[in-house]
Structure formats: C-alpha cells, structure tokens
Chain A
Amino acid sequence: MKGAINQDWLNVTSFDSGAPSGGATVVHRFDAPGEYRVRVVHGDETLAQTVIAVSGGQPAETGAGPGHVSLDMKHVLTPANLSGTPTDRERAPLVVRTQGYVSFTDSGRTKPFAIVAEAPAGGGPGFDSRRLGPGDVFAVTLLRPGKYRMTNELSRATGEITIAYPVVGTTPYRPPEPQAIECTDRGFQPSSVALKPAQGAIFRIQTAARIKVELTEPDDGPSHRPDRVTDRPQPRVRISREAVLRAIDRVRANRDRNR
C-alpha cells in the first residue's frame, strides 16, 4: 500500500484549528475587497507569504472571481520557497470574489503552521487561524477510532467525541454525513458527539475560538476479529464444456476458412 495512502494522516490524532493539517481545514469568508497579505507563521517566525486578492463587485457579476479557493500550505511551503527571505517566498496571489471563502489546510507536513491574513489598509478585518471568529468553520475528519476531547482554547469549553470502531460487514461501509457542532460562548452544542468511522465533524464558530481535538482513549478494536473470509462459503469451481465447445467451433471455422 506504499503510495496508496498518506500514512502520515493515519498517525494524526490531534487537530488544531490554529494550524489546520492532517485532514482538517479552516474556512474563512472574506467580506471586504482588497489584497490580503497572508503569512504562514510558526510562533513568531514568518515562513512564507502569499497574497489573497479579494475582488470587488457583487458575487453574481461576471469576472467577480470564484466563490471559493483553497490554500494548501504544502504548496506554499516548498523547499525552494523556504530558502531566502520571507519576501522571496511569495507566490502568485489567489483571487476570490467578495464574500467568497478561502479554505486553509496543510496536506503535507504535520508541523503546525498558523495562517495570518492581514487586512489591507482601509479594508475589513483580517484573519488569524489562531483566533477564529463568528462565521468561520473548522472541519475535521477523524480516522482513528476512540475517544477525543474537544476544547475551545480561548473559552476553555470542552466536549467529547467518540469515533466508533469500524465493522467489516457484508456490505461496503460509507461514512454518513458530517456532524455539525456549534461552538458558542456557552460551549459546544452538542458537547458529546458519537461519530461513525471516518465521519466528519464541522465546527461552526459563533464566538472567539481555537478548537483543539485530541485523542484521549484509542480504540484498537476487539481482541478477536471475525474471520471475514472463511465465514463465506467456498464456491464450487466448475469449468464447463460449453465454453470449450465454442472455442472448438472457432477452430473448425478458421480451418475451413483457410482451406
């Protein structure tokens, strides 16, 4: 299975909206037009920069730009981009229309990087992944079965998410629709969530928040796994004469044709 799956994601058991990675993403809506300077930071260090250009005009207008763009830190933080000064690590600006959404994630390294989008002069408010605000969304796909603790670092609200252990059945399993969790000043609604394997969770932010989801109690499944294959009856194999006779007819036809 080498190359068929990013095994780094299998080891991710901690998710942080301040540094979305490993299947997690943060979505912010840019309501005011302008050029937003986006910095990828680690602590106080700016590792890379880019620009998000929020175009003016109404959403429905022609040439207003897309309603959504995705910014993957993996593409921003390439080895070449990590050399030189931060200003050297700029890339072509992303363009999104006013009231459009930008999703931030990191499909590469698991080292946490925060994203800061500085508003232009006279423009609207900026964005800092370390402090989400109302309207922002933090989405995560939890793969590892077990119990997770969800925490709003800014309000100290907590909750629990339980990921069920996958059961191999007679029909293919498909994760259900994601569970929405409201993050308010009164805490998480609901505060205890039971999810199916690989089912997503969408945190809709309604207050200042930095959401962390951490595995507290892994579930490695039952000690004896059912034998999924030998339970099935073994098919009887039969190689029929009819298929062979069809082949023989073709041999004869070819020979007659060649005479």
Chain B
Amino acid sequence: MALTDHCDIFLSVLEAGVNRVVLHVRRQWPSLFNYGTAAVAQNPQLLCKQINAHPIVTQKGNPIITVMDPAPVVGTLYGIDYCAQLTEAAIDFSPGNVFTLPPPLVALGAQQLAVKVAVCGGLACPPSQLVDQLPVKLKPAKTSEPPRRTIPSVVGHDRVPADPRDDTREPPLEVIRTDRFNCTCLEAYVVAGAIFKPDDSPEHVQHIIGRLDGIEIVDITPDELESALECYGALVIKLFLFPTLALETVKFAEDDVMGLQVAIEPVHTSAALPNNPAIEQDLLKAFLKLNVSEPPPSTGGGGGGAGGGPQAPDLATGVDRARTRSGPFDATIAMSQPAITVLFNAIRDKFTLSKSDEASFGPFTMGYAIGIHLAGGSLELRDDGTVRVKELDIKWDTAKVWLGIDIPEICVGGFCIIPNPFGGCLVRAPKICVFSAKPDIGPVIDIGGLITSEVSVTFRPVMRYSTNHPSSMNAWDAKAANKANRWVLIADVISVDIDLFDIADIVGDLLHNALESAVDNLLGGLPGWAKDLILAILGPVIDFIADLIDLPDDIGEWIADKLGVSFGLFNLIAAAILDHVAKDKPLFNLQDPLPIESKKNLIDAMIPIEFLGVRVNSKELIVEGDIGG
C-alpha cells in the first residue's frame, strides 16, 4: 500500500523529530520561554531553572530573558522581582509512549496527541526584617474629577482640557531587592486532536488547527483552584495558542521547485481516508493535493520562504551523506506519480533552446540556426528507483540550414597556341574564368516545423549534500553570506535516447530547390546561352555541387551527420536537456540548517537537517529526513 494511495502528497512528522525541533527553538529563542524582571535579567542566577541557551544567542546580542515590569505590591508603590519559565515541553502522538498522562486524563486514544509542559515561577520574597524597615509608600488615591465645563469650541466639548494638576500617572515602583526567590514548578498536560479548518476569508486557505480534548495541571489544591486554572488555561489554549500555532496551507517560494509556485491543499476525508490529518503510529500525518502554477512576476530581490533566498547561490558539488539514525524517519514526504507528472509537465514547458553556429568544411561552409521546445512525453516512476521520461517531443520551432559553396574557378580558353618544342606549352590563349567569388552560392533551407524528434531520458533522483562554507563559519553567518550548506536533489542521468523521424522527400526537395535558386541567382542577369554554357561546363549543378561538397544521395543523413557530428548539435541538444535537470541545476535544494524566521526581531532559529534521502517506486517518490540533535 502506497503512502499516496489517497492523495498527491503525503506528509508525516515523528513525535521525536517535533520534540527535537522544540528543543532547538527553546535554546535559540530562550526569551520566548523565560520571563523576568530586570534584576533577574541582570542576574540569571536568580532564575528557578538555569537556561540552556545556544551560544549564538549572546554572540548575536539576543536576549536570554524577556524583561517584564516588577510585580506591584498591591496598594503600595513597592514592587518585587519575579520570573516565569517554560522549562519543559514535549509532545506525544498516539499511541502514548513519551510520557505518562496523570489522572484524570486517560491514556492517549486513537487520533490524539498529548502535550506536556513544565512551568516554573519564582517570586522574590524579601525577609521580614527588611520589610519592617521599609517606609510606608501607599499608592496615592485618585482625585475626584473636576467640575465639568462646557467649552463649545473645543472638540469633545463636554470635557475640559487636561490640567497639569490633574495628572494621574503613577510614580514608578520601588523594587524591594532580595536574592531570596521562592520557586515553584507545575506540570500541565493537554490532550488534543487536529483538524483542517478553513479560514473564513479567503475560503480556499486551510489550516491545521488543534482540538482540545482535555487539560490537567498537576498537584494544585484545592481542587476548585485547579479547576479554575484549568478552565483559564483551556481558554488560552483554544482562543490564543491553537490559532497562533495553526499550520497554513504550505506554499513554496518560486525558486524552490524549478521556478514554480506550488500550492498544496488538504484532501477531504472519506471512507477510504477517515482522518486527515491523522495522528497514529507516533506520527502526525497529512494528506494533500497539489496545484502547480506560474509564479507572479518577480519584483526583484527574489522570493522568500523556507527553502529559497534572495539569489540562487553557486552550490558546491554534492556528496553522498549516509543516515546515522535508525527507526522511523522524523519527516516523510511522498509524491504520487500523477503529482510528479504535473511537476514534470511544468518543467518540460519551461525548456527552450536557441542556438546558431557556422563552420568551414573546406570547399563549403555550413551554418544552422535552431530553436526548440519540448512537448508531449510521459513520466514513469519505476520500482528499480529510476524515473523514465519517455518520448518527449523536441519541437523544432526554427531549423534553418545554410550552405556557402565556393565553386572552384572554371576557365575556358587558355589553350596552347605555341607548343614548346622541348615539351609543354610556350604561349597560351587568354583564359575566360568564372566563379572567382567566395562563396559563390549560399542556399538556405528552412525545415522548421517539418522535423519532429523524440528524446527519452532515464535518471535516478539522488539526494546529495553540498557544503558551501568552512566549518569555522556558523550557520547564521553562512546564511547571511548566501553560503549555507544545502541538501540538493539531482537527477543522475542513466541514459538518453534521441530519435529523429524520417522526413522523406521534404528536406531533399527543399535543398534541391534552394540550390537551384541559389544557382539561378548566381547566374541571374546572364543571357540564356551564357547560362547554358556555364551549366554545361558545370554539368548538372546539383551533381556538381554534390560532388564538390561530397554530398551523398542521402541528403538528409548528410545534413544530420553534419549537424550532429561536425557541429555536435545532437550533443548540444542532449546536453541542454540534461542540463535542464542535471547536477548544475538541482531539482530541489533545502538549506541546512533550515532557518525559521522570527517575528520578534530575534535571530533565525536554525533546525539542523541531519539526513535527507530520496527513493522511488512505481507509485511514488518519497523524501525522508531526520532532524539533528
């Protein structure tokens, strides 16, 4: 059973991979998970749990803690320090095997996921002796509102303008400093599911959004307090967290897949596909359908997105990189044969080639100008891991061949008048010569639209790793310098077959007519008898020219041989088609590590892609990868 039996694209992520991503994000964006007052930020030793931040955070000047205002002592102008930290976060897809759910939550059921978070909070509690010595600083009471006076000329004429004596801004809090932090930690568990939910507008955009099935905060008493907090937590999760974490319909930037814009939408559920997305086998699975379209006109600077960048970089040659983990892959993407065919058609339609050349072959020169595009053909995924493109038509939009023939000078007269008694000739008559120009004739034949060729290519998709920066350069600097390492998907070509069809009589007729016209032009303006005399001397001009340039009876083969062998035109076309999908132009590339942009002016979170591989069977193409630790 294939992964794409009910969809164009199959996506799955393993809970272990998600947990590794969460860990990377927590280490690189610690300020999103750790909050405290300025005193805590200046002295992280006060935190309840020490932060295991990535060294790049301080290198790039990012904060470790989000600084908050002190907590006020109610009714006073005093405040105290505090901290709040998310110290643990893990996800568990059905079946539950990452952590045990506390009662009253039951074990994970089918199509459920569980999230465990641990939150620690600390309050700076000053000792009594210190408090007893503090002067009283009560928060000033609000003064009564001054009598209303109506001033018609003033906007809002039923209110008086502000009087400086009525300033109600509160004075800053005086923080009671202490190093004594009372910390407490709680664990919370959430059981949820996932659904596709369409946006209200525009309707066609879908999101994967969570469905809350249960929440439990452990060990809070009394139970009523726990219930109240759980209720509040559920509100936060449903109204804030789930919408914030909703996954959009995936769109890749235009330079990610051969310059195409790819839109992916979820498949509707059915009896054959009862759950989409599905949570099972420790995986979150999504079943999607594919739409391919031309990208919008570029406005300069290139597109953004997960895999793209402002300018296509020059990539180092990729090398094989083996997988180091075992077991299920952290992420799997499979594309069905019809989906691959859609991409293939778009790639095919973008291929064009124009070329002209001229060369000398001794008594004649030959040149050509061609313009081709591709059409038709079919794509077949095969169980041996290869992809075969069959019978792809090469359409010759332009195919002009011209000859420059230098007919050797022909002379009459010049006969011997006085023989040399010792042998040879002493005196000769004047010569009358023709065909002194170079070249003398230049027939052109236009066979565009008359030739149809076919090409078939067999290739094996291969994933390789391209190292583009030294190990001394960190990933953030490498990305800024457009030298990020990348996983590249290339087509390792196994065979190329080009067939040219017979075009009996047509090209031969064209060349004959072209030569006739050329000769007529050459002799144009001469009286008929002179023309006949020259033609008589030349003999049948076609034969003469044929002998001159060694043109065989099979003119088509001669042209094909000259174009194909002497000009290497077939090499050129084959190479151009191969280059269209060859190693210099990867079918796909993915930065490693994969950057996630922050919306809070923080450094990108870099997720290492430890492994990426590709395989093919007769039903689908599968890309599998692992997240690095």
Is the CB–CB distance between A5 and B554 below 8 Å? Answer: no
Query: Chain B residues near A244 (CB, 8 Å)?
Result: 498-500, 560, 564, 570
Q: Which of B433, B505, B525 contacts A1 (CB 8 A)?
A: B525
Comparing A50-58, A164-172, A182-190, the segment that makes contact with chain B is A164-172
A57 to B565, CA, bound (A): 64
Question: A241 touching B433 by the CB < 8 A rule?
Answer: no
Across the interface, name the chain A residue whose C-beta is closest to B441: A1
Do residues B426 and A67 form an inter-chain contact, with CB atoms below 8 A?
yes
Contacts of B543 in A (CB 8 A): 170
The answer to whether B440 and A68 touch across the interface, beta carbons within 8 angstroms, is no
- Inside 8 A of A24's CB, which chain B residues have their CB? 430
| Interface flag for B186 (CB, 8 Å) | no
User: A251–B498 Cα gap in the complex (Å)?
Assistant: 12
A166 touching B426 in the complex, CB below 8 Å, given contacts A101-B418, A137-B418, A243-B560:
no
Q: Is the CB of B432 within 8 A of A220?
A: no
- Report the stretch among A84-92, A116-124, A227-235 that lies at the interface: A227-235
Contact between A7 and B539, CB atoms less than 8 A apart: no
Q: By the criterion CB–CB under 8 Å, are B571 and A250 in contact? A: yes
Docked complex: A216-239 residues within 8 A CB-CB of B: 218-221, 225, 228-229, 232, 234-239
Count chain A residues whose beta carbon lies closer than 8 angstroms to a beta carbon of B: 69
Q: Decide if B503 touches A174 in the complex (CB within 8 Å).
A: no
B539:A241 contact, CB within 8 angstroms: no
Interface SS of chain A: loop
Q: Is B132 an interface residue (CB 8 A)?
A: no
* A168 neighbours in B (Cβ, 8 Å): 532, 535-536, 539-540
User: Given A167-B536, A200-B415, are A145 and B568 neighbors across the interface (CB < 8 Å)?
Assistant: no
Which of B505, B541, B568 lies in contact with A234, CB distance below 8 A?
Answer: B505
**Tally of contact residues, B, Cβ under 8 A:** 73
Does A197 have its Cβ within 8 Å of any Cβ on chain B?
A: yes
Instruction: Tell me the bound Cα distance from A229 to B443 in angstroms.
Output: 16
Q: Which of A5-51 contact B (CB under 8 A)?
A: 5-7, 9-10, 23-25, 27
Docked complex: A40-82 residues within 8 A CB-CB of B: 67-68
Kindly state the separation between the CA atoms of A198 and B97 in the bound complex, as whole angstroms.
Answer: 107
A9 to B434, CA, bound (A): 12
Interface Cβ pair total, 8 Å cutoff: 218
User: Which of B52-60, B300-308, B507-515, B608-616 lies at the binding interface?
Assistant: B507-515
> Is A210 an interface residue when CB atoms closer than 8 A count as contact?
no
1/0 contact string of A144-183 vs chain B (CB within 8 Å): 1100000000000000000001111111111101100000
Query: Which residues on A sit within 8 Å (CB–CB) of B544?
Result: 172
- Residue from the set B430, B502, B507 with the largest chain A CB neighbour count within 10 Å: B430
Determine the residue in chain A with the shortest Cβ distance to B317.
A259
**Could you tell me the distance between the alpha carbons of A99 and B448 in the complex, rounded to whole angstroms?**
67
Q: Is B497 an interface residue (CB 8 A)?
A: yes
CB interface residues, B 497-551, toward A, < 8 Å:
497-509, 512, 516, 522-530, 532-533, 535-544
A112 to B539, CA, bound (A): 35
Are B432 and A238 closer than 8 Å at their CB atoms? Answer: no
B260 to chain A minimum Cβ distance, whole angstroms, is 26
Q: Tell me the nearest residue of chain A to B409, going by C-beta.
A: A4
Quote the shortest CB–CB distance from A227 to chain B (angstroms).
10
Check B540–A228 contact: CB distance below 8 A. Answer: yes
Q: Which residues of A contact B504 (CB under 8 A)?
A: 236-238
Query: In the complex, which residues of chain B have a beta carbon less than 8 angstroms from the beta carbon of A237?
Result: 502-508, 554-557
Asked if A3 meets B500 with Cβ closer than 8 Å, knowing A172-B538, A239-B557, the reply is no
Are A220 and B570 in touch, CB under 8 angstroms?
Answer: no
Cross-chain pairs A/B with CB under 8 angstroms, 14 sampled = A6-B432, A27-B427, A141-B429, A141-B430, A145-B529, A165-B532, A166-B529, A170-B540, A172-B544, A220-B527, A220-B529, A228-B540, A235-B555, A237-B503
Binding site for B on A (CB under 8 A): 1-7, 9-10, 23-25, 27, 67-68, 101, 103, 105, 107, 137, 139-141, 143-145, 165-175, 177-178, 197-198, 200, 202, 218-221, 225, 228-229, 232, 234-241, 243-244, 246-248, 250-252, 254-255
Q: Which residues of B contact A (CB under 8 A)?
A: 412-413, 415-418, 420, 426-427, 429-430, 432-437, 440, 493, 495-509, 512, 516, 522-530, 532-533, 535-544, 553-557, 559-561, 564-565, 568, 570-571, 574-575, 578
Q: Given A23-B429, A168-B539, output 6 extra A-B contacts at Cβ < 8 Å.
A: A4-B436, A170-B539, A172-B537, A175-B412, A177-B415, A220-B527
- Which 9 A-B residue pairs are closest in the complex by CB-CB distance? A237-B556, A172-B539, A247-B570, A166-B536, A141-B413, A198-B412, A239-B560, A173-B536, A166-B533
